[in-house]
């Protein structure tokens, strides 16, 4: 049951996300009928699934949501912002109920039960408890008013694997009773084999059911949605003709007369109708001796052709229905190719691949030392295969960031209403892929940035109109790849960050001393200091000085960086740079003295010899371009004299270039990232460590931090400021220790 509940919770949450997305689109003016039907189907799926797993308190509450959505779908009531708000609160309540189930409690929480009753009253006020009006089309799934004597006929034959999948056929029938009254039911076990071939885990059951219900065909089909691909299901509407029942008898695997007797006892047919129908069917199925195969086929034309010939439907409708059926089949085939895998199994696979990469590097080193050509060639093939396995394994953990982005539609809507502002969210790059572990951890930092932009950045409608801006604020969330990294941007068109206000608040809170000379960018970066806030009063959203420092700390924990740019009166842009993966990367191995350092290969532009005549201070003449550089021997205080010939690795971080001076270049190297211990969390310029084939430890350089440091040295060199290369006394490093 635990496994069944886990699957149910995961799928229910997916349906809730689809419901929220659809409701927000409707609130923005999307009146597409298919969208409303999709929202209704999501609610109905949750209700049906909760009934199957016997979580009836979730089923009851979702049923109220479903009724209201059904009235919307039938056009009986209109939708407005207040109704959307209430429906979204209903989604939140279902999500809270799912959280309780995830904790292992299947009974209803008393506190949530009380909250659910309050929401139910609000939904009833909008008409959630009313039935749909008469005259709706039963074939479309809407409820309809039928004479009390008429019943639906349902024939279902469960597949042999239904029990193995954790489903109980009786639960489907129990849920079916909630749609109406089961007038008659016959259980069929004709598929049961001989005792010697009997499989205790297989299902051999079938049912013939007469159901008196106001529900539509789509609703009845949805009852069996979870086993639809593993059963044979036929549903005949009330007042079906004799030919429909005869066609059903022909399709089902049991002996025709036995099925006929069941239909007679159920009241679907009379004895005379059954006998006459079977005689007529038998006569039509015996073609003359002179009939060809084509004539025989013509005796049994497709159902669509019969309907067109009798002018029951237009040819276009038949073609559209066939196309729609093909789309459904293609979708089911695509879903059948997907496999759900637990995240911890993927993590274990990545760990094993990492160990394989390290072992492969060791084998490669031994092969080169042996000097045997055939061994080196075999090891080269092995290394290539290991690299392909590594790339394939990492690709398994890559997911689109769009799922994380889409949840902010709800956040922006609710926060904007709370602040009394009109704000629209524009999302681009949702298809950008990122490591799943990174995606899971980037949600909270983005939440802080989005709330900060709405609260501090975007002005009120009155202030925007006075400044000549549109009353509606604009918030953008962008993602794209750049140099082996993922860039996420949060952009607003608000008033920007006032450097004077930030500086005065920093002096007031003792973060800097009065008269301390800081560049404009350094002043803006003060917003990431712990305890810093420019808000005068504390609100539910801001004012406590907690948030932006957490953003920076969490992003740095992901080996990323965050940068802010602002334009007074026009807005601000927060840029987050993250690695694609936290596990394995392609690196470029270098050495300084006896120490080895790895530079992420995606950041390497080129390598060149260092010539003394091309340098001036900490700057290098790169074909007429001024290139700031850092000498690792000085930066890390490596003992010994430098070699006569040094090398420069030109790196890039975004649009900024810098150089790293090393002793020797060792070439490309598959790098398994090992995080540094808690003791080294404030060490700047180092992003992690790795294990070489020799068993030695190499440090992985933080390209972003080193590039920024090189640029700052260049700026200070031009300004004539004193600079010390000793890390402990470096004023630039000290002033940014929190980074």
How close are the terminal C-alpha atoms of the chain, in Å?
Answer: 48
- The Cα–Cα gap between 648 and 303 comes to 77
Q: Are residues 575 and 607 in the same domain?
A: no
Residue 106, domain CATH? 1.20.120.160
What average pLDDT does the segment 284-311 reach? 44
**Is the domain of 536 the same as that of 614?**
no
- Which range (193-202, 374-383, 609-618, 690-699) has the least confidence? 609-618
Last residue of a domain, one of 99, 125, 151: 125
pLDDT tens digits, one per residue of 368-381: 888 888 998 998 89
Closest CA to 267 of 388, 414, 151: 151
Residue 689's pLDDT band, with cuts at 50, 70 and 90, is confident
Beta-carbon contacts of residue 297 (< 8 Å; ≥ 6 apart):
none
Least confident of 11-25, 286-300, 387-401, 668-682: 286-300
Domain assignment of residue 409, yes or no: yes
Does the residue 379 lie in any domain? yes
pLDDT for 704 beyond 60: yes
As a whole number, the mean pLDDT across the chain is: 77
Give the confidence band of 127 by pLDDT, cuts at 50, 70, 90.
Answer: low
Q: What angle do CA 187, 190, 196 make, to 5 degrees?
A: 125
Please give the tally of structural domains in the chain. Answer: 5
In the predicted model, what is the mean pLDDT of residues 330-336? 51
How many CB atoms neighbour CB 355 within 10 A? Answer: 12
Q: Which residue shows structure tokens 């076990």? A: 189
Q: How far apart are CA 370 and CA 98, in angstroms?
A: 61
pLDDT class for 491, splitting at 50, 70, 90? very high
For residue 293, how far is the Cα from the chain centroid?
53
Taking 70 as the threshold, does the pLDDT of residue 273 lie above it?
Answer: no
- Residue 312 covered by a domain: no
Average pLDDT over residues 386-409: 85
Q: What is the CATH number of the domain that holds 381?
A: 1.10.287
Residue 298 domain-assigned (yes or no): no
| pLDDT at residue 490, rounded to an integer | 93
Residue with tokens 């409608």: 461
pLDDT for 400 beyond 90 = no
Q: Which of 579, 614, 630 is the endpoint of a domain?
A: 579
* Percent of all residues in the chain with a pLDDT value above 90, rounded to a whole number: 10
CA dist 16 and 65 (Å) reads 12
Give the CA radius of gyration of the chain: 34
Same domain, 491 and 558: yes
pLDDT of 293 = 39
What integer is the mean pLDDT of 57-86? 85
Confidence at residue 94, expressed as pLDDT on a 0 to 100 scale: 92
Domain-embedded: residue 194 = yes
**Most confident listed range (556-560, 696-700, 710-714):** 696-700
Task: Please tell me whether residues 104 and 164 are part of one structural domain.
Answer: no
Q: Does residue 336 fall inside a structural domain?
A: no
Q: How many helices (H) and strands (E) does the chain have?
A: 24, 22
Q: Does 619 share its domain with 703?
A: yes
Q: Are 452 and 542 a contacting pair, CB within 8 Å?
A: yes
378 located within any domain:
yes
CATH of residue 679: 2.40.50.180
| Other Cβ atoms within 10 Å of 125 Cβ, number | 11
Full residue range of the structural domain in which residue 373 is found: 343-397
277, with CB counted inside 10 A (0-12, 13-18, 19+), is: middle
598 lies in the same domain as 725: yes
Give the tens place of pLDDT for each residue, 192-245: 888 888 888 888 888 888 888 888 888 888 888 888 888 888 888 887 777 777
**Cα 181 versus chain centre, distance:** 40
Q: How far apart are CA 62 and CA 451, in angstroms?
A: 31
Of 409 and 737, the one with more pLDDT: 409
Predicted confidence (pLDDT) per residue in 354-367, tens digit: 888 888 888 888 88
Summarised one tens digit per residue, pLDDT across range 627-645 is 889 989 888 888 888 888 8
What lies within 8 Å, CB to CB, of 491 at 6+ separation is 475, 476, 478, 571, 572, 573, 574
Mean pLDDT of 500-510: 81
φ, ψ at 286 (rounded to 5°): -100, 95
The pLDDT value recorded for residue 721 is 44
Percent of the chain beyond pLDDT 70? 78
Q: What is the pLDDT of residues 410-436, one digit of tens each?
A: 889 888 888 889 999 999 998 888 888
pLDDT > 80? residue 323: no
Nearest to 208 by CA among 242, 232, 175, 239: 232
The DSSP output letter for 47 is H
- pLDDT of 54: 79
Per-residue pLDDT at 143: 34
- How far apart, in whole angstroms, are the C-alpha atoms of residue 255 and residue 190? 9
Residues 210 and 277 in one domain: yes
User: Would you call 494 helix, strand, or coil by DSSP?
Assistant: coil
What was the pLDDT predicted at 617?
77
Q: Flag the least confident range among 22-31, 199-208, 260-269, 474-483.
A: 260-269
Confidence of residue 473 (pLDDT cuts 50, 70, 90): very high
Contact present, 258 and 251 (Cβ < 8 Å): no
- Give pLDDT, residue 717: 66
Q: In 3D, which of 573, 570, 568 has the Cα closest to residue 469?
A: 570
Comparison of pLDDT for 688 and 93, the residue scoring more: 93
Q: Of the candidates 82, 69, 67, which has an alpha carbon nearest to the alpha carbon of residue 130? A: 67
Identify whether residues 381 and 410 lie together within a single domain. Answer: no
What band does 291 get if pLDDT is binned at 50, 70 and 90? very low
Q: Does 218 reside within a domain?
A: yes
Residue 649 confidence (pLDDT): 93
Do 423 and 569 have their domain in common?
A: yes
Q: Which of 380, 397, 414 is the last residue of a domain?
A: 397
436 in the same domain as 426:
yes
Could you tell me if 107 and 147 lie in one domain? no
Query: For the domain that residue 194 is a member of, what is the CATH number?
Result: 3.30.70.1150
Position 731 scores a pLDDT of 32
Is the predicted pLDDT of residue 449 greater than 60, yes or no?
A: yes
What six digits make up the tokens of 311?
A: 């002018």
- In this structure, what token pair is assigned to residue 699? 């440090």
Paired tokens of 21: 């997305």
User: Predicted confidence band at 606 (pLDDT cuts at 50, 70, 90)?
Assistant: very high
374 and 403 inside one domain: no
Which among 85-99, 236-250, 342-356 has the top mean pLDDT? 85-99
Please tell me the predicted confidence (pLDDT) of residue 294.
43
CATH number of the domain that 545 lies in? Answer: 3.30.565.10
Q: What is the per-residue pLDDT for 295?
A: 40
Return the number of other C-beta atoms located less than 10 Å from residue 129's C-beta.
15
């Amino acid at each position: 049951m635990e496994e069944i509940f886990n699957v149910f919770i995961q799928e229910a949450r997916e349906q809730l996300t689809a419901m929220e997305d659809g409701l927000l689109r409707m609130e923005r003016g999307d009146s597409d009928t298919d969208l409303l039907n999709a929202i209704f189907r999501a609610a109905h799926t949750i209700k049906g699934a909760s009934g199957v797993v016997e979580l009836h308190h979730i089923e009851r509450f979702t049923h109220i949501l479903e009724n209201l959505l059904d009235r919307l779908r039938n056009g009986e009531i209109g939708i407005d912002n207040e109704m959307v708000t209430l429906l979204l609160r209903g989604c939140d309540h279902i999500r809270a109920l799912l959280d309780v189930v995830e904790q292992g409690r299947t009974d209803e929480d008393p506190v949530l039960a009380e909250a659910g009753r309050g929401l139910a009253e609000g939904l009833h006020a909008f008409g959630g408890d009313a039935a749909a009006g008469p005259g709706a089309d039963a074939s479309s799934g809407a409820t309809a008013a039928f004479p009390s004597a008429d019943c639906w006929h349902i024939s279902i034959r469960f597949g042999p694997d239904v029990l193995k999948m954790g489903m109980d056929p009786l639960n489907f029938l129990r849920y079916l009773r909630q749609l109406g009254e089961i007038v008659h039911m016959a259980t069929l076990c004709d598929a049961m084999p001989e005792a010697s071939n009997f499989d205790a885990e297989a299902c051999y059951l079938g049912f013939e059911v007469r159901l008196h219900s106001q529900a539509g065909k789509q609703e009845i089909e949805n009852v069996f949605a979870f086993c639809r691909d593993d059963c044979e299901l036929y549903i005949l509407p009330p007042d079906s003709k004799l030919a429909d029942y005869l066609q059903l008898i022909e399709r089902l695997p049991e002996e025709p007369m036995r099925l006929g007797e069941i239909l007679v006892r159920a009241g679907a047919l009379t004895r005379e109708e059954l006998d006459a129908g079977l005689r007529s069917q038998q006569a039509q199925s015996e073609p003359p001796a002179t009939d060809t195969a084509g004539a025989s086929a013509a005796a049994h034309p497709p159902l669509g052709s019969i309907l067109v010939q009798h002018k029951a439907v237009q040819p276009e409708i038949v073609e559209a229905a066939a196309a729609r059926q093909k789309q459904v089949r293609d979708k089911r085939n695509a879903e059948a190719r997907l496999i759900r895998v637990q995240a911890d199994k993927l993590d274990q696979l990545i760990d094993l691949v990492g160990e394989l990469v390290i072992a492969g590097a060791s084998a490669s080193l031994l092969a080169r030392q042996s000097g045997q050509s055939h061994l080196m060639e075999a090891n080269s093939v092995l290394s290539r295969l290991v690299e392909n396995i590594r790339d394939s394994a990492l690709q398994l953990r890559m997911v689109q960031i769009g799922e994380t982005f889409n949840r902010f539609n709800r956040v922006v809507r609710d926060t904007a209403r709370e602040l009394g502002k009109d704000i629209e969210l524009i999302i681009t790059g949702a298809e950008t892929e990122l490591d799943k572990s990174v995606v899971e951890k980037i949600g909270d930092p983005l939440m802080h940035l989005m709330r900060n932009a709405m609260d501090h950045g975007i002005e009120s409608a009155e202030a925007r109109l006075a400044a000549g801006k549109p009353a509606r604020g604009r918030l953008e969330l962008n993602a794209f790849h750049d140099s082996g990294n993922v860039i996420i941007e949060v952009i607003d068109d608000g008033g920007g960050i006032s450097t004077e206000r930030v500086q005065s608040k920093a002096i007031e809170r003792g973060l800097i001393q009065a008269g301390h000379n800081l560049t404009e960018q350094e002043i803006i970066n003060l917003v990431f200091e712990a305890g810093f806030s420019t808000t005068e009063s504390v609100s539910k959203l801001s004012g406590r000085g907690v948030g932006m420092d957490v953003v920076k700390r969490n992003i740095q924990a992901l080996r990323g960086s965050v940068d802010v740019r602002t334009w007074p009166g026009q807005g601000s842009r927060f840029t987050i740079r993250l690695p694609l993966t936290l596990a394995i990367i392609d690196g470029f191995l270098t050495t300084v003295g006896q120490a080895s350092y790895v530079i992420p290969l995606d950041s390497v532009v080129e390598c060149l010899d260092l010539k003394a005549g091309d340098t001036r201070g900490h700057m290098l003449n790169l074909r007429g371009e001024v290139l700031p550089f850092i000498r690792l021997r000085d930066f890390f205080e490596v003992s010994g004299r430098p070699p006569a010939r040094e090398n420069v690795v030109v790196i890039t971080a975004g649009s900024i270039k810098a150089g790293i001076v090393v002793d020797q270049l060792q070439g490309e190297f598959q790098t398994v990232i090992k995080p540094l211990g808690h003791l080294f969390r404030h060490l700047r310029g180092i992003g992690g460590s790795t294990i070489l084939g020799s068993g030695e430890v190499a440090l992985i350089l933080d390209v972003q931090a080193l590039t920024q440091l090189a640029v700052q040295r260049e700026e200070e060199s031009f300004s004539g400021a004193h600079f010390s290369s000793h890390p402990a006394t470096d004023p630039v490093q000290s002033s940014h220790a929190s980074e």
